[in-house]
Amino acid sequence: MGTSVMGNNIDAAENLPDYPELKQLLGRTTLPGHELIELLHAAQQQYGHLDQPLLGQIARSLKLPESLVYGVASFYHAFRLEPPGRTRCAVCTGTSCHIKGGTRLLEQLQQLLDPACGGSSGDSRLSLESVRCLGACGMAPLVRIEQSSTPARLYSQMTPDLTLNLLQSAMEGGLPPGEALAPVRLLGPASQRIVLANCGAIDPDSLASARAAGAYTALEQSLRRMSPDQVCGQIRDSGLRGRGGGGYPTGLKWELVRSAPGKRKFVVANGDEGDPGAFMDRTLMELDPHRVLEGMAIAGFATGADHGFIYVRGEYPLAARRLRAAIAEAESAACLGRNIFGTPFTFQVRVRIGAGAFVCGEETALMASIMGRRGQPVIRPPYPAQHGLWGRPTLINNVETFGCVAPIILKGAAWFSSIGTPGNNGTKVFSISGDVTVAGVVEVPLGTPLRQILEMAGGVTGGDFKAAQTGGASGGCITAEHLDIPVDYDSLTGLGTIMGSGGMIIINDRRCMVDLARFFMRFCQSESCGKCTPCRAGTEQALRLLDALCSGEADLEQLERLEELCHLMRETSLCGLGMAAPNPVLSTLRWFRQEYLDHLRNGHCPAGVCRRGAAPCRD
Amino acid sequence: MRPIRLATAWLSGCSGCHMSLLNLHHHLLELLLKCELVYSPLADIKEYPAGVDIALVEGAVGNADNREMAALIRERTVWVVSLGDCAVNGNVSGLRNPIGREAALAAAYPAENGSHQRFGSDVPLLLPRVLPLHQVIRVDAFIPGCPPLPEDISRMLASFFKQPAAGG
Amino acid sequence: MPRLKLSIDGIPVSAGPGATILQAARANGIDIATLCHLKGLIPAGACRICIVEVAGGRRPVPACATRAESGMVITTASERLQAARRQIVELLLAERNHQCPVCVMNNNCELQAVARRFGIDHVRYGFIAPTLTVDISHERFGLDHNRCILCRRCVRVCDQVEGAHTWDVRARGTASRIISDLARPWGESGSCTGCGKCVQACPTGALFEKDVQGTRKGTLCLEKLLEWRRRRTR
């Protein structure tokens, strides 16, 4: 693929008769061909959807093959190739929404609305769709209604009747006010917060407010008083590990990029928080954008990079808006951009908006997406630290990892490593939701017992504690007997789950674990990029086997087949998505095997969640 | 030693697999020295008997009769063998699966209203999907091929004869 | 640069610097089955048939896309690997509609050959039987999605050798389909040169030449073509 980096504005003197605005949109791109996804976003906003003539025009203007442009546009769920309805109703299918009836709500609405509105295609009045977790898990089950005239509004604790009423009023032009944005509750003691220390305390739209709380002092200190090696050393000695889930030592990664040969290097912040039921990164990016940007700039200084990309999940428009505003303001105050604080160091950050693909949380897929391609992972090695964006050494860290950087520089590695447990230094942000009194975000030292975290959310509701699902679709569950386990990387791995990015769903004893496993498998099946066989065809077959289990049609042999498939995916998939896709099944099988056996033919669903003929149904 | 009780059955298939069986030619004579043919479309026997040692089953499970027959075969047979691609994976009989039962019927037996003609109760009901035999009953061995090679059939039978339990 | 020395299935072998495990194995007479791999194209490592175990590694790696290193101890056919390969081939056979007797590539098909090689006599997974189309709008060639295993050899040969990039993949996961241009019929493609390399590269009957006896596949040497192209552009 193309090797040109950071070209000048392209001379978009092409003839664009059908789409006059497209020329203007093109004029904004600085990396022709590599800003395809940005352009698709802009074009969709301008024209409502991306039809074939428009995609053809875009391909010609960017001098890209037509099939490549179509391949990209159809890969990402955020792009509409067909015109949407004038009123668009989306039901959230995140984990919390699912266990609280979101999936059933969607099915019921589909049945109720289908004959009335003629489905969701064509120039219909109404379209109904499912939407991936909006990170507003406290509002579950959540419905989002959008009309061309008004911005999207969110409605919490929805039922079919309530939704129908809303849609009725929406189509009559009087949509009742909902939440424009999902509010985030910060839970737990504020004194423990490091990454989120300023969240809620500062005005996220004001650099002055952030500066008053200490933003960019760590960057200034690094630039004026430290060498890049010293900065790397501080991060290494702090024992900080990647907060995106991998737990790889951050300092080591920085040193790898620092020592990689090459004049041009990149820093990437991964804010593609795709796990259903996770909203930690959203909280940080929305409430303290400067913290992430400062961490990236320090990383740029330490590794020798002069450009950074922050990849923001498409479902988080507010985070993207605030980050863009923060970058502009910081650049005008010389906190970012050229000659930061009057030093020779230059670091420019661009925001990239995701387009609805969980797989883009995987670092090679993330890079492909930043370069405007299908988010398909490629085989490692070579690792991004050697061969990343446009073939250059690239540092990729989660936004929360970058959020830890400034405090470490200011207060020292020793201070940071004194928090948490040995090998698990510092704090971790968790988003806790599901069957809890208050859903929200907590930041606690690593090693805090699960029971304490649960108490911060006000305890379990609707029944007794059954399990905590951690690590989202790549994770597993923790059972009641392990409630006192210290939550850190290693002890969770010991229990067969992962800490992941920090999403935590509390499940009460009226929920069905087989149904939950099926929910995650459905998620992975719809998010598989389709490149490697075990993930593409394996998730599909596993989902079918789980469907059979939930409808009481499976026998023991099919359960064996499912387990065998899970091991195949884990062993032979190309990337982390496929390798981790079976984790929820394997974990629930480990702790709740009896529930699976109860679901076999002639059995029943103990929780009464899975619907079928003879089962004792709750509804 | 009593002769081995051999059955062959024909579900949704084209009889090509049975042709392959006949293509064993003079080996058939050797086979019949060891076996007693207790049920087969090649012989005029009305009912599938009990106590069958080995059954070669041609064809996929495509209608209600097939499904009933498959269950009967399983119940009364020690060793069930899927004979040929239709039994093994649906094959040509399964070509209707991607388009669905109703569309296939409407294409083959169109009625004026765009649907398909109605059939009497003497015509077995087509299943929504054509299934390979092993997805309906437990199957002990497979001889793929369309049609399966006669050599593969004799090899499979030979391996059965070698089993200590065979005919015992 | 010194030659690499490694061990494959207990046999000490040597390989040129930069060689993949697959190249090292094949050069020494050890065959590893492949599907998405095609000599002359950049490896994708997508089908996962060629996975091998490297001693000390946590999980198997694709031989086609992993560089050989001196000192590697490689196993190509352990029971675990063979079982995984069988599962993968079964997944492929169940994914679309592979009815060999009515396929133009019957007995010339790489998928069929791999299935035969691993002794797959039946598929344990449910057949998905998706409804798929056949595109015969092109004057000389056809595309039958029922036979496609998404190896993307057509996509890569069209991009990397012919330089036309007529083919790509639309959507994702099981909904992935090979498309030409803006997902329009192949016959309407403005970028297709009609060279037929994609047909040659296709391992199954998904891409075929119309109105000919036999498949006429495998008559093209991609490596020579690539060499010719390099000379031309130099």
Render pLDDT for C27-39 as a digit per residue (tens, 0 to 9): 999 999 999 999 9
- Minimum distance, in Å, between the CA of residue C176 and any CA atom of chain B: 17
**What DSSP line would sit under A223-281, residue for residue?**
HHH--HHHHHHHHHHHT-B-TTTT--BHHHHHHHHHHS--S--EEEEEE---STT--HH
The amino acid at A537: A
Span C2-45, pLDDT tens digits: 899 999 999 999 999 999 999 999 999 999 999 999 999 999 99
pLDDT of residue C221: 57
Closest CA to A68 of A23, A1, A115, A154: A1
**In chain C, whose CA is at the least distance from the CA of A538?**
C91
Q: A65 vs C166: CB contact, 8 Å cut-off?
A: yes
The pLDDT confidence band at residue A29, using thresholds 50, 70 and 90, is low
The chains in contact with chain A, meaning 3 or more Cβ pairs closer than 8 Å, are C
Q: Between the ranges A105-109, B111-115, C44-48, where is the mean pLDDT highest?
A: C44-48
Q: B132 vs C123: CB contact, 8 Å cut-off?
A: yes
- Bond from prior residue into B147 cis (ω within 30 degrees of 0): yes
pLDDT of residue C234: 57
- In 10 A of CB B48, how many CB atoms? 17
Span C123-134, average pLDDT: 96
Q: B91 vs C99: CB contact, 8 Å cut-off?
A: yes
Span A507-520, pLDDT tens digits: 999 999 999 999 99
**In chain A, whose CA is at the least distance from the CA of C36?**
A532
Mutating which of C169, C177, C189 best tests the A interface, going by the most A Cβ atoms within 10 A?
C169
Span B136-140, average pLDDT: 96
CATH 3.40.640.10 fits A87-171, yes or no: no
CATH 3.10.20.600 fits A429-508, yes or no: yes
**In chain B, whose CA is at the least distance from the CA of C133?**
B98
Gap between the Cα atoms of A559 and A561, Å rounded = 5
Gap between the Cα atoms of A306 and A346, Å rounded = 6
Span A119-127, average pLDDT: 59
pLDDT of residue A16: 44
Gap between the Cα atoms of A37 and A338, Å rounded = 26
- C129 touching B (Cβ < 8 Å): yes
Span A254-281, average pLDDT: 94
Residue A13 has pLDDT above 70, yes or no: no
Reported CATH class of domain A513-602: mainly alpha
Return residues 71-110 of B near C (CB < 8 Å): 82, 85, 88-92, 94-95, 97-100
- Element spanning C168, H or E: strand C167-170
Is the ipTM higher than 0.95? The answer is no
Q: B98 vs C123: CB contact, 8 Å cut-off?
A: no
The full set of domain ranges for chain C reads: 4-77, 96-232
pLDDT of residue A1: 37
**Cβ atoms of residues A433 and A140 within 8 Å:** yes
- The mean of the pLDDT values for chain A is 90
Span B77-97, average pLDDT: 96
**Residues with Cβ within 8 Å of residue A61, at least 6 apart in sequence:** A12, A14, A16, A22, A26
Q: Is B114 left (phi over 0), alpha (psi -120 to 50) or beta?
A: left
Q: Is A200 left (phi over 0), alpha (psi -120 to 50) or beta?
A: left
**Residues with Cβ within 8 Å of residue C126, at least 6 apart in sequence:** A541, A544, B135, C94
Span C194-205, average pLDDT: 94
Gap between the Cα atoms of B100 and A100, Å rounded = 35
Q: Is A339 left (phi over 0), alpha (psi -120 to 50) or beta?
A: left
Gap between the Cα atoms of A98 and C76, Å rounded = 43
- B53 touching C (Cβ < 8 Å): no
pTM, to two decimals: 0.93
CATH superfamily, with its number, for domain A190-418? NADH-ubiquinone oxidoreductase 51kDa subunit (3.40.50.11540)
pLDDT of residue C223: 62
CATH 1.10.3720.10 fits C96-232, yes or no: no
Q: C167 vs A55: CB contact, 8 Å cut-off?
A: no
The full set of domain ranges for chain A reads: 3-75, 87-171, 190-418, 429-508, 513-602
Span B62-76, average pLDDT: 97
Of chain A, the percentage scoring pLDDT greater than 70 comes to 93
Span A131-142, average pLDDT: 87
Q: What is the CATH number of domain C4-77?
A: 3.10.20.740
Q: Which residues of chain A neighbour C172 with C-beta distances below 8 Å?
A: 75, 357, 374, 527-530
Q: C172 vs A528: CB contact, 8 Å cut-off?
A: yes
Mutating which of C22, C48, C53 best tests the A interface, going by the most A Cβ atoms within 10 A?
C48
pLDDT of residue A514: 96
- Minimum distance, in Å, between the CA of residue A513 and any CA atom of chain C: 23
Residue A85 has pLDDT above 90, yes or no: no
